[in-house]
Structure 1
């Protein structure tokens, strides 16, 4: 399956930061309006990819990005819960930013070395990859799909990325085995 993977546009966390919201509440943060025009430019390139369907993370920033893309392409749009962000705490508790950053560093180090970390309180890269692949396996009847999601989902599918993928950017990848 060919995937045009789009990382959501630039989010606006100002309101959630001002109100000291939790990470869960930050998931509802909208796109930053100052950067939406950049998405319109990217859509022109994405249009050339000739995808058949859009599949999006449920987070607001991803849904808004999918909507901007879909205004131009007019494709069927599906929202998939399991294309969400990496989980910094498997128990769903609050994790201080410094601890979250440490866990994120550990998570990416294990991915870089293709070595699964055992007995950790956060979601492993293998578990993240598995849930993303489970979602995508339901779309194997399409030859090319647009996935609007998050960097960590992309990295779990494509492998460790030294340079990442910027907000509002896209990359193409092919997954050989699904389902």
Structure 2
């Protein structure tokens, strides 16, 4: 199955910062006006017309990107929990601010495949991210030849040997490879 991995558009966290949302609350941030334009331009890419289904992360920035893509691509949309971004704290209860997220991410980048036993935040390892996303893809592999998947940079990194992804960048992979 061919998969178009698409990073979401430029996020806007203004409203969630104003409401003092932390942890999962930050994932409710939408797109900037530029992020919406990026998604609209992405939607015009001719290869996306091959997609028989559009899968999206449940995070607002990904769903807002998907909305713009779905306006141009004649394919059904399905929200998949397993396509969410990397988790700095798998419990969802220990991290209270962005400094702690950065500390978790810094350690993750040092040791992506294992968590030090004494590290205070049980972040998701790279292997866990990959397995979570592969489980989503496996549900569709027997039913579709080509899907689009709107997700996040760290998720894409697990399948494409690249560290950074532009907003609305598309990378093509085959599953299973």
Q: Which runs of 5+ in 2 are unaligned?
A: none
Partner of 1:59: 59
Partner of 1:147: 149
In 1: Cα distance, 2:37 partner to 2:158 partner: 28
- Residues 168 and 48 (structure 1), Cα distance of their counterparts in 2 relative to 1, 3 Å cut: closer
Note if contact 1:4-1:49 (Cα within 8 Å) is conserved in structure 2. Answer: no
Range that drifts further, 122-131 or 97-106: 97-106
- Residues 59 and 156 (structure 1), Cα distance of their counterparts in 2 relative to 1, 3 Å cut: same
Partner of 1:109: 110
RMSD: 1.9
How many residue pairs match? The answer is 172
Q: Deviations over 1:146-178 (max 9, x none)?
A: 00011111112234x23x11122211122335x
Q: CA deviation at 1:35?
A: 3.1
Q: Which runs of 5+ in 1 are unaligned?
A: none
Q: What is the TM-score with the length of structure 1 in the denominator?
A: 0.86
Pair 1:124 & 2:125 matched: yes
Q: CA deviation at 1:94?
A: 4.1
Q: Deviations over 1:64-112 (max 9, x none)?
A: 111110110120111101111111112211423223212212223334x
In 1: Cα distance, 2:49 partner to 2:28 partner: 29
Q: CA deviation at 1:33?
A: 2.1
- Residues 66 and 41 (structure 1), Cα distance of their counterparts in 2 relative to 1, 3 Å cut: same
Partner of 2:5: 5
Note if contact 2:29-2:60 (Cα within 8 Å) is conserved in structure 1. Answer: yes
Note if contact 2:39-2:65 (Cα within 8 Å) is conserved in structure 1. Answer: yes
SS at match of 1:158: coil
Partner of 2:15: 15
In 2: Cα distance, 1:118 partner to 1:98 partner: 19
